[in-house]
């Protein structure tokens, strides 16, 4: 496995462990052919683990790494549905139940045409360690479909969700597997999915899904949690360097659930957010994004980002995707928050950001930064918060929703936000101290991977060969 000079130990150190990990990674590639995003996610974790295996030979003896790279269960199923004109469509549904070492499988559902088994496995693999970092009792899983919700009516979305749940229901449950949202799955979809689960099972089992509506078992702050948490994590990284978000210029990508609430919290903390985007392009608003207008365009009208530019005024620049050969990352800033999708921030983008003076980057999305770009940030001394740590606030608040469901309770916004803030501080602290413990101070990638891995590994050791 080619070494990452920043995350891998020196060539002399841990030679035997490095060789073992290389062999293991080659095996993952061989056995999961063509699943490039899954390979990438596994590589990012494995290349940081040699020092752990060197210190703790019992983990290698128990084949913990081999076992954690193999999902406990992988489900794929047909999802037939009819559109409003009566035409029949067939999509593919997925649920990868990756690890139940720490709790019931937990992770979102993604509806996007790019979804395939490799994407679901990369997301499920990341989720194991992210969920461990929250300190709450949740295992890792992920699911979704290659269904494209864009342009579909509410009735079509409902029929699709009902068909999807007609298979999924037999695999999930509040103690088994608890899905939530991700790209293309928000409150509307969770509602339709929950309704169908309830109808099929004849159980109002609140804890089977998270991200529910506030009137029927949902938790306050869950909608805001991923974006808020990402910004709180950024604030912690800045604080560790004696700085803060107050007065910072922030560049955000995406304009979905994570992006919108990252913008909201960054603004609450005194930053100016200059940009947001969708797959059709990005906007630059030097006066700072008008959040009410953005919510109106994206959440109410389900519109495109160009509409924001049209409605906001002449000072806003809209750049169509691919135009000018530039990306949202060409806008100079202090802080960058990629909140759209995987591999959206490349080496070229990272070089541009460093040249523009970026001090901190935190991943609101899952694996949005390519490995080459991560290297650029780390070599330039930019504080880099990997998604496993930085976007864990969403799933953490899902776990708080499960707690509330189990106790038939409902917490206030303030109480829940306080818990979220505490969890994000705890995650920052455990990444920072773990990185230090392994001789890599300030390296949150090493800290997050090792801290998450050790929690899962210890549980697997204790639970025997299962």
Catalytic residue numbers read: 142
**Least distance CB 255 / ligand NDP (angstroms):** 4
Task: Output the smallest distance, CB 416 to ligand 2IT, in A.
Answer: 14
Is 341 or 378 the residue whose CB approaches ligand NDP more closely?
Answer: 341
Nearer to ligand NDP, 53 or 259 (CB): 259
- The residue whose two tokens read 């300190």 is 135
Which residues, in sequence order, are bridge partners of residue 177? 105, 173
φ and ψ at residue 318, rounded to 5 degrees: -105, 125
Encode the chain in three state secondary structure: CCCCCCCCCCCCCCHHHHHHHHHHHHHHHHHCCCCHHHHHHHHHHHCCCHHHHHHCHHHHHCCHHHHHCCCCEEEEEEEEEECCCCCEEEEEEEEEEEECCCCCEEEEEEECCCCCHHHHHHHHHHHHHHHHHCCCCCCEEEEEECCCCCCCCHHHHHHHHHHHHHHHHHHCECCCEEEECECCECHHHHHHHHHHHHHHHCCCCHHHCCCCCHHHCCCCCHHHHHHHHHHHHHHHHHHHCCCCCCCCEEEEECCCHHHHHHHHHHHHCCCEEEEEEECCEEEECCCCCCHHHHHHHHHHCCCCHHHHHHHHCCCCEEEECCHHHCCHHHCCCCEEEECCCCCCECHHHHHHHHHCCCCEEECCCCCCECHHHHHHHHHCCCEEECHHHHCHHHHHHHHHHHHHHHCCCCCCHHHHHHHHHHHHHHHHHHHHHHHHHCCCCCCHHHHHHHHHHHHHHHHHHHHCCC
Using CA atoms, how far apart are residues 283 and 55, in angstroms rounded to an integer? 49
Q: Is residue 366 close enough to count as binding ligand 2IT by CB under 6 A?
A: yes
Q: Which stretch binds ligand 2IT (CB under 6 A): 13-21, 293-301, 317-325, 394-402?
A: 394-402
107 touches, from ligand 2IT, ligand NDP, none (C-beta below 5 to 8 Å by class): ligand 2IT
For the bound state, the minimum distance from the C-beta of residue 455 to ligand 2IT, rounded and expressed in Å, comes to 16
Q: How far is the CB of 460 from ligand 2IT (least distance, A)?
A: 21
**Span of 79-87, 102-110, 186-194, 198-206 interacting with ligand 2IT by CB under 6 A:** 102-110
With binding defined as CB under 6 A, does residue 182 bind ligand 2IT? Answer: yes
Residue number with CB closer to ligand 2IT (127 or 277): 127
278 binds, among ligand NDP, ligand 2IT, none (CB under 5 to 8 A by kind): ligand NDP
Please report, as residue ranges, which positions from 110 to 139 form the binding site for ligand 2IT (by CB under 6 A).
Answer: 127, 130
Indicate which of ligand NDP, ligand 2IT, none lies near residue 100 (CB less than 5 to 8 Å, by partner kind): none
Assess 395 for contact with ligand 2IT (CB under 6 A).
yes
Q: Tokens representing 207?
A: 């804890």
Residue of the chain from 71, 93, 108, 124 that contacts ligand 2IT (CB under 6 A): 108
Q: Tell me the per-residue interface mask from 56 to 75 with ligand 2IT, x by CB under 6 A, - otherwise.
A: --------------------
Binding stretches for ligand NDP (CB under 6 A): 112, 181-184, 186, 226, 254-259, 278-280, 339-341, 364-366, 391, 394
Residue 187 makes CB contacts below 8 A (sequence gap 6+) with 181, 211, 212, 213, 218, 223
State which residue, 111 or 453, has the beta carbon closest to ligand 2IT: 111
Whole-number minimum distance, CB 242 to ligand 2IT, in Å? 30
Residue 180 found at the interface with ligand 2IT (CB under 6 A): yes
Query: How far apart are CB 159 and ligand 2IT at their closest, in Å?
Result: 23
> Binders of ligand 2IT: how many residues, by CB under 6 A?
12
Sequence-ordered list of residues with C-beta below 8 angstroms from that of 118, at least 6 positions apart, any chain: 32, 34, 35, 36, 37, 38
Q: Which of 43, 106, 304, 375 binds ligand 2IT (CB under 6 A)?
A: 106
Which of ligand 2IT, ligand NDP, none has residue 257 at its interface (CB below 5 to 8 Å by kind)?
Answer: ligand NDP
Minimum CB separation of residue 223 from ligand NDP in Å reads 9
Q: How far is the CB of 94 from ligand 2IT (least distance, A)?
A: 14
- When asked if residue 210 is in the footprint of ligand 2IT (CB under 6 A), the reply is yes
106 binds, among ligand 2IT, ligand NDP, none (CB under 5 to 8 A by kind): ligand 2IT
Measured from the CB atom, is 26 or 320 closer to ligand NDP? 320
Residue among 49 and 367 whose Cβ is closer to ligand NDP: 367
Q: Which one, of 47, 29, 27, 49, lies nearest residue 38 by Cα?
A: 29
Which C-beta is closer to ligand 2IT: that of 93 or that of 108? 108
Indicate the residue among 248 and 423 with the shorter CB distance to ligand 2IT.
423
Stretch binding ligand 2IT (CB under 6 A), from 104-112, 145-153, 155-163, 342-350:
104-112
Which residues in 314-345 are b (16+ Cβ under 10 Å) and which e? eebebbeeeeeeebbbbbebbbbbbbbbbbbb
Task: Name the site residues for ligand 2IT (rule: CB under 6 A).
Answer: 106-108, 127, 130, 180, 182, 210, 366, 394-395, 398
């Amino acid at each position: 496995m080619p070494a990452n000079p920043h995350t891998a130990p020196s060539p002399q150190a841990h030679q035997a462990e490095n060789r073992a990990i290389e062999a293991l990674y080659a095996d993952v590639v061989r056995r999961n052919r063509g699943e490039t995003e899954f390979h990438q996610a596994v590589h990012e974790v494995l290349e940081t683990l040699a020092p752990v295996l060197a210190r703790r030979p019992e983990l290698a003896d128990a084949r913990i790494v081999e076992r954690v790279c193999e999902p406990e269960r992988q489900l794929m199923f047909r999802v037939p549905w009819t559109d409003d004109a009566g035409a029949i469509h067939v999509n593919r549904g997925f649920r990868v139940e990756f690890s139940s070492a720490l709790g019931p499988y937990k992770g979102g559902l993604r509806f996007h045409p790019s979804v395939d088994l490799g994407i679901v496995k990369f997301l499920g693999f990341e989720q194991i360690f992210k969920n461990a970092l929250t300190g709450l009792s949740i295992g890792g899983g992920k699911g979704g479909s290659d269904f494209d919700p864009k342009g579909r009516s509410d009735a079509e979305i409902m029929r699709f969700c009902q068909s999807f749940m007609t298979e999924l229901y037999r695999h999930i449950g509040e103690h088994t597997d608890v899905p939530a949202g991700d790209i293309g799955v928000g409150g509307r979809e969770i509602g339709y999915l929950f309704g169908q689960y309830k109808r099929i099972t004849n159980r109002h089992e609140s804890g089977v899904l998270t991200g529910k509506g506030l009137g029927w078992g949902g938790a306050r702050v869950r909608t805001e949690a991923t974006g808020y948490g990402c910004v709180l994590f950024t604030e912690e990284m800045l604080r560790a360097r004696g700085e803060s978000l107050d007065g910072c210029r922030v560049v955000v990508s995406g304009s979905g659930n994570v992006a919108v609430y990252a913008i909201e919290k960054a603004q609450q903390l005194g930053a100016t957010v200059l940009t947001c985007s969708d797959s059709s392009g990005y906007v630059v608003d030097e006066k700072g994004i008008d959040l009410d207008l953005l919510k109106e365009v994206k959440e109410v009208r389900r519109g495109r980002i160009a509409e924001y530019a049209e409605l906001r005024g002449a000072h806003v620049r809209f750049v169509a995707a691919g135009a000018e050969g530039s990306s949202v990352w060409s806008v100079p800033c202090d802080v960058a928050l990629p909140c759209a999708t995987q591999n959206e921030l490349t080496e070229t983008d990272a070089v541009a950001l460093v040249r523009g003076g970026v001090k901190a980057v935190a991943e609101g999305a899952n694996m949005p930064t390519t490995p080459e770009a991560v290297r650029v940030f780390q070599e330039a001394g930019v504080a880099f918060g990997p998604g496993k740590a930085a976007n864990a606030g969403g799933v953490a608040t899902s776990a708080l929703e499960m707690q509330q469901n189990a106790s038939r309770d409902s917490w206030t916004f303030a109480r829940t936000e306080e818990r979220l803030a505490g969890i994000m501080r705890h995650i920052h602290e455990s990444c920072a101290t773990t990185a230090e413990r392994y001789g890599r101070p300030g390296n949150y990638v090493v800290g997050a991977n090792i801290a998450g891995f050790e929690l899962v590994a210890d549980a697997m050791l204790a639970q025997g060969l299962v």
